[in-house]
Structure 1
Amino acid sequence: MTSASPASPVDELFERTRSQGRAALVGYLPAGFPTKETSIRAIEAMVEGGVDLVEIGLPYSDPVMDGPVIQAAAEQALAAGSRTTDVFDVVRATAATGVPTVVMTYWNPVERYGVERFAADLAGAGGSGLITPDLIPDEAGPWIEASGTHDLDRIFLVAPSSTDERLAMTVDAASGFVYATAVMGVTGAREQTSSLGEELVARVRAVSDKPVGVGLGVSNGAQAHEIAAYADAVIVGSALVRCLLDAPDETAGIEAVRALARDLRAGVERN
């Protein structure tokens, strides 16, 4: 069991949304896609549309858990020369909007950058924490130490396939919130949300009162409304990325991001 720490910006967000009787809206966009400057503008539009917490993706060359939409965005960002230091620039600009900002990254780039250095630079840019989809708590010793030193939240993932023992250990090691992947397989927007989400949230709540966010598959306000009825946060990624991928130009893409964020926020507000 990790020692208690002061309330983080993520903790304060969930205290606020719980007091308002609604789920938080979490929006994901990759840093540097299609350019660093445009990714910052798109994230600002997402916040203006009503996103409560921003999840910034660190582009990676081998995104094994990401679907084709996020893979395509990561490839464009890397082709444009996006580097880890650019991610911290995007974090700094996002945090300046006043919303809690976390980075989603595979573990290999953090190890290459240096775990302590990464934590220090993330905190220095105003970041609130890190989502690590391929890092399990029992292999996270260096990150648990570095995140504790720099007051960063550790957001671990649980899945429908998680055993009760594994789920309890992961939830205990997590801070900020627990990321519940409600479908099996790679990420991507879906026509229907998974029926496994509500059951997985219930399993987490049986062992902890930490907030639970549900991700993978949400693409519109109606689906956000459905998940907000039982989760503490609705996490949306691929649908927002697609707004930029499918747009005829960057300005139209940014407007599409803002419009989708508004629709998603209306969905979580209806509860």
Structure 2
Amino acid sequence: MATKQINSIQNPLIKHIVLLKEKSRERKKSGLFVIEGQRELSLALKGNYQIETLLFYPELCSENELSKLTTPQTNTIEISKDVFQKLAHRSTTEGIIAVAKSKTQAITNLTFKTKTPLILIAEAPEKPGNIGALLRTADAANVDAFIIANPKTDIYNPNIIRSSVGCVFTNQIATGTTSEIIQFLKDNTINTYCAALQASTSYTTQNFTSPTAIVVGTEATGLSDTWLAHSTQNISIPMQGEIDSMNVSVAAGILIFEAKRQRDFK
């Protein structure tokens, strides 16, 4: 199936893939990013991502497995063990590395299949692990969109793809500034519930069955004043221990699944 082989880590394509993995600037400039692993690639294909090149290490990826991830038009390249080890972050990725075209995450591209969308919004999340966990929460709840306000890193950072276990490809994602997103919510008559301690009420007292956006901030600084000024209602999760906050993805999960519970029993 492979029409080409690459055995040297000095090959220009291999050097470019390393750059794509390591440099956000290179990903933005080229409009390309790297996918590692069969599960992640299968989810990207399900999400209609265009695959530019697929590299495989035959000792870990059989012809049968490869055939499930390719078409006759796929640019497929067999790579050596040295090349695979150079490109792979972990050894359990079944010998698959792919280069794919990124998608734009403009807020104006969002479309909703329902008149009462449920949206999860995170403002300025920094840690790839938290972003990945938020994406997994969004996928698990099947929210209508996941929006990042004032993003600190691009969504195709390999650590985000890895920590989301491919959920970055299964969610409808948008990014924008806080002001752009707030205007979008207003234009679409979507209620905004901000997770905050200030002037808040318990999340269990609110009705999330109408068009709803649940907004979470970072654990360190919380949400900006701009969000709080435009909130339909600030909500909080009552704490019963000694601390007054929890991991942002855990909090988001509690709030989003309360909204889902209400909608299931509406």
* Same fold, TM-score > 0.5, yes or no: no
* TM-score, structure 2 normalization: 0.31
Flag the structure with larger Rg.
Answer: 2
